Amino acid sequence: VPFAKEPPVGAIIVFDCTGEGPRGTAYRKAGHLVIGGNPFDRALELNRPEGARIARRAGMVTPPTYPFGDIPSALRFLKKTDGKWFVKVSGDGIELDTYDAPDSEFMSRYLKWVQETAEVKPFVLQQKVEGTEVSCNGWFNGHEFVPPFDITLEEKKCLAGDLGCRTGCE
């Protein structure tokens, strides 16, 4: 919600979700300290293929990542490609936006189900690598990162051994 009047001098404005880039930029130009609300927040989180491109341009090393705009093209890719896969769908959505499959056949079955049950947005297939997936999020005030950081272990199932219901991250 926009401020009813200009924030007081010295106020720190914090945005806690994506999509506030224009407001954050406007407040920064007015001389306020702003955390979050940056022009890249939507591209990094809500458009997975664009987020992957930005990460590569910044020199980040990531597992092999392949962007897709539709499920049929991903299914053709999976038919000729082996391996364990993650799918990460664009948008600020629900748990069916991510899935980790033990092989290409499981991923194909999952994508066919998604196609029948949900609106399909641009997505990436990312090859699984050994290790524990760690998520790290930080606030950026336009000049530097501002601690503390949010770090989670991306355990997707509630029980040890990858068993139980999907929980997101822990």
* 155-164: average pLDDT: 69
Q: 73: which 2 tokens?
A: 């093209």
Q: 51: which 2 tokens?
A: 């987020």
pLDDT score recorded for residue 151: 81
pTM of the model: 0.64
Query: Which of 2-6, 25-29, 98-102 is the least confident region?
Result: 2-6
Q: 155: which 2 tokens?
A: 């355990």
Number of other CB atoms surrounding residue 2 within 10 Å = 6
Q: pLDDT of 23-73, one tens digit each? A: 788 888 888 888 777 777 666 667 778 878 888 888 888 889 999 989 999
Phi/psi at 120 (5° precision): -95, 125
